[in-house]
Amino acid sequence: MKKHFFRSLPVMAVIVMSCASAPKEDHSWIRKGIDVASAQLKLTAEEIADSAKLPRCISVGYELDFLCKQLEHQSATFKDSLHPNPSPELVGKRQLVGVSDWTSGFFPGSLWYTYELTGDQALKQYAIAYTNLLYPVREEAGTHDVGFMMNCSYGNAGRLSPNDTIPTVLKQTADNLIARFDTGIGVIRSWDFGTWNYPVIIDNMMNLDLLFNVSKLTGNPVYKDIAGKHAYTTMKNHFRPDYSSYHVVSYNSDGTVELKETHQGKNAESSWSRGQAWAVYGYTSCYRETGDKAFLDFAGKIADLIMSRVKTSDFIPYWDYDAPDTPETPRDASAAAITASAFIELSTMVPDGKHYLDYATTILKNLSSDTYLAKVGENQGFILMHSTGSLPHGSEVDTPLNYADYYYMEALERYMKLKGLEYKNL
């Protein structure tokens, strides 16, 4: 036996040497992203502590000629829709909003995710304080965005610091959301403004997670059932044959489609980048919560469309897939972060998911580079740079956005969980 054992030593040595020489995967980009996020969020939380408001973006202006070139039409056709340029003293400054703003839940949500990743108790205390600001939102009945507002804040609080109040708050919020559901049309109404009869935007797919969450908290299937019906009606009417999405679909009162158009994209038939991200994220969530394979198949089709349409080498898309392919065209880091988060989850649901994970990883590495990741103490306390809110309105063009930060942190959390990584070992 000894003779055979020693005869095998050279082979074993080769194996050991091979294992020893295998390069260790570099996760320094993750550590960098989390450390920057932690520092920036703390800085912001301290600086705005007495305001009872939340950070949304950095105020920026626009040039009309530039918007016209991006939209490839004459300014006279949309001048009246433009947001006014901010006064000079506000340009470059942090814009704060009240709790009724649709983005109010993202800052506390970013604090929760960064606390989850680091275990930093200071972040937890900030997260609790800024989440509590949103308590009055539980009574908001005039918007579908309560899913964004409350599930990102109170929903994450319920995961990471549960108490008896949170389920009640989320249920009251969800009750207001399902009150906007029309049983005849089969969807949740999005907006209460404008000339549309019954407008529904693709963004509304993101508010369904609140309903799924409350259905589990209460054991009441009605919330889940309404979410599923909304998703099916949207799947039927919001998408083109190539699985790109319209931004706005308005319905007649009998459930037929009144019109299909955009509000934030280049034109009615273009593919607004963040809209495609909302779509793939929403249908991935729907499959997670329902197990309905139709949702999984649909999410995969949208994901494949995204991968085929994004023109940029770093996978951070232009603000619209049909925007001019020029160096001046603004990117949308928020669309990239949402896509990355969705793709990471989607990659775990399909047999051939590695290409989705690889795509998401490339996005995250690029968002964690100096091109998009802020330097500590700069960028008015935001984590990421170069997002676009609504270019056709001259609103938030090439600026940090709080929801880009939120989905970046969520994507990092999902990536680390999938890879079995811990912050302390990075």
For the chain, which residues make up each domain, given as ranges? 26-425
More confident residue, 383 or 8: 383
Structure tokens that stand for 283 in this block: 């249908």
pLDDT of res. 423 = 97
Q: Which CATH fold would you assign to the domain 26-425?
A: Glycosyltransferase (1.50.10)
Give per-residue pLDDT as tens, 230-270.
Answer: 999 999 999 999 999 999 999 999 999 999 999 999 999 99
**CA distances (Å), origin 397, targets 144, 264, 265, 334, 423:** 24, 11, 13, 12, 33
Q: What percentage of the chain reaches a pLDDT higher than 70?
A: 94
pLDDT of res. 189 = 98
Whether residue 310 contacts residue 317, with contact meaning beta carbons closer than 8 Å, is answered with: yes
List, in sequence order, every residue forming a beta bridge with 94; answer none if it has no partner: 58
Q: Which residues are catalytic?
A: 145, 203
List, in sequence order, every residue forming a beta bridge with 239; answer none if it has no partner: 245
pLDDT above 50 (res 114): yes
pLDDT of res. 290 = 98
pLDDT of res. 4 = 42
| Cα-trace Rg, the chain | 23
Whether residue 115 contacts residue 123, with contact meaning beta carbons closer than 8 Å, is answered with: yes
pLDDT of res. 18 = 45
Residue type, 280: V
pLDDT of res. 391 = 97
Give per-residue pLDDT as tens, 276-285.
Answer: 999 999 999 9
pLDDT of res. 327 = 95
Q: Model pTM?
A: 0.94
